[in-house]
Amino acid sequence: MVLKAFLILVAGTAFACAPAVQMAVTPRRCPAGGLPDEAVPAELTAPAVRGLPILPVPVPASERGRRVTIRLVIDTAGRPLRDSVTVCGVHDPRYEELVAEKMATLTFSPARRDGSPVVWPTRLVVQLASDDRRR
């Protein structure tokens, strides 16, 4: 009985201390007419990205020179909700997934209303290089 309780305790501790498993990010489909405008109310401070968002490289030749718009919903801790990522302007499905996964790792200052953090969407617009600059 003591051994069984000990094994349950050890297994529970190992499970609780294990790193969180990151689920793959599946980008939402870009609406046919593009993303709608989302006005930010005057009493709200929109989320702001911390650092410089860098898209995955190498950029496929078919995607170079494109303008990419990424919409994310940011939680109150400044993290993108992984199921909220929409990528518009990328036509290569694999690269679209890579962009979504990369954008889901960004951190933001969360939106604030009356000084309190709130969940709110934001968008980033990135122009992909027209050539492979890693040469």
Q: The domain spanning residue 109 has which CATH number?
A: 3.30.2420
Q: How many domains does the chain have?
A: 1
- pLDDT tier at 11, thresholds 50, 70, 90: very low
Per the domain annotation, does 107 fall within a domain?
A: yes
Lateral strand order in the sheet of 44-45: 44-45, 111-113, 116-118
Per the domain annotation, does 16 fall within a domain?
A: no
Domain encompassing residue 94: 24-31+41-127
- pLDDT tier at 9, thresholds 50, 70, 90: very low
Element spanning 11, H or E: helix 2-17
* Residue 115: both structure tokens together: 């000084």
pTM for the model stands at 0.77
Per the domain annotation, does 46 fall within a domain?
A: yes
In a 13 Å sphere around the CA of 45, the CA atoms on its Cβ side amount to: 14
Average pLDDT over all residues of the chain: 85
Q: What is the pLDDT of residues 76-119, one digit of tens each?
A: 999 999 999 999 999 999 999 999 999 999 999 999 999 999 99
Per the domain annotation, does 119 fall within a domain?
A: yes
Per the domain annotation, does 92 fall within a domain?
A: yes
Assign 33 to helix, strand or coil.
coil
Out of 12-21, 22-31, 55-64, give the one with best mean pLDDT. 55-64
